[in-house]
Amino acid sequence: MCTKTLPYFLSGSVVKGFGRGSKALGIPTANLEDKIVDALPSDFKIGVYYGWASVDAKVYKMVASVGWNPFYKNEKKTVEVHLLQKFENDFYGKQIKVIFAGYIRSEQDFTSEEELINAINNDIAVAEKELQQPCISAYKDDKFLKE
């Protein structure tokens, strides 16, 4: 669904996260540096988003989690971007540009890693569908991602 509060554009360096995305969940994420997370507007809704991201001017579909990851009891807010593409190598230190184009759901806690993985896979399925909407797919060609 196209909204008036989105899209939201941000960019920053990819930093090492907790190492859970790839190792524990099999769903690697690019974690944004703290200063980018801290600069989010105070009314930026916590939860799971979909949209587009670029690394080295190549554009990919993405889902992103913004929040505290209650399953892992994080003490600081994070922005973790999962690119819907397999990569051979990580890209720590590289700039990532992200367009949050739509909102999937609020942050929630889970009773098991399996339940968390199922929810993330459902988020990915929702993103794949929503990113096909013309008003959303148009953002993949936004000059912001290609600069």
Domains in the chain: ranges and CATH: 8-137 (2.40.30.30)
State residue 125's pLDDT score: 98
More confident residue, 113 or 7: 7
State residue 66's pLDDT score: 95
State residue 65's pLDDT score: 95
CA dist., res. 105 & res. 114, Å (int): 18
Catalytic site residue from 33, 80, 114, 130: 80
* Average pLDDT of the residues of the chain: 90
In the predicted model, is pLDDT for residue 19 greater than 70?
no
CB < 8 Å & 24+ apart, contacts of 23-30? 24/113, 25/113, 25/116, 25/117, 25/120, 26/117, 27/82, 27/117, 27/120, 28/82, 28/87, 28/90, 29/65, 29/80, 29/81, 29/82, 30/55, 30/80, 30/81, 30/82, 30/83, 30/91, 30/96
pTM for the whole structure: 0.92
Active-site residue flag, 80: yes
Give the contacts of 56 (CB within 8 A, at least 6 positions apart). Answer: 91, 94
**What band does 4 get if pLDDT is binned at 50, 70 and 90?**
low
Give the contacts of 51 (CB within 8 A, at least 6 positions apart). Answer: 7, 62, 64, 98, 99, 100, 101, 102, 131, 136, 139
Among 1-5, 82-86, 132-136, whose mean pLDDT is lowest? 1-5
**What band does 54 get if pLDDT is binned at 50, 70 and 90?**
very high
State residue 25's pLDDT score: 79
